[in-house]
Structure 1
Amino acid sequence: MIVKVVVLFLVGMAVLAMFGRLRLPGPLSKGKPGKCRACGRPKIGRGPCSCGKG
């Protein structure tokens, strides 16, 4: 009985994870700033990069 509950719980969590990936496929959809195109360093915040080029 407990094994069935655990298996159903794990299957449910796997289904939720698949739907979560379909809605949010990558890091850009979460609003993360990403990397500077000029120097490649990760950007902190939404302002320009500290290298002054991007």
Structure 2
Amino acid sequence: MLVKIVTLFLIGMAVLAMFGRLRMPRLRGRATCRDCGAPRVGRGPCPCRKVPRA
């Protein structure tokens, strides 16, 4: 009985994940820095640009 409940829960979570990906596809290219790959937050430059390079 417990195995059946866990299996149904996992199947339900997988279905919800598929619908979530259909509704909100991941933005590619915009959300990460081109130089270091870090996630971008806000509109300012990435912190990797602020560090002087040797």
Same structural fold, with TM-score higher than 0.5 when normalized by the shorter chain: yes
SS in structure 2 of the partner of residue 16 of structure 1: helix
Larger relative contact order (Cα-Cα within 8 Å, sequence gap ≥ 6): 1
After TM superposition, the score normalised by the length of structure 2 is 0.56
RMSD: 2.8
Number of aligned residue pairs: 45
Q: Percent identity?
A: 56
Regions of 4+ moved over 2 Å = 32-36, 40-44
- Give the aligned residue type for 1:45: G
| Deviation per residue, 1:14-47 (Å, 9 max, x gap) | 0000000001111x3xxx65446xxx45654124
- Structure 2 residue runs without a partner (length 5+): 50-54
TM-score (norm 1): 0.56
5+ residue gaps, structure 1, are none
Residue 34 and residue 4 in structure 1: after superposition, are their counterparts in 2 closer, same or farther (change >3 A)? Answer: same
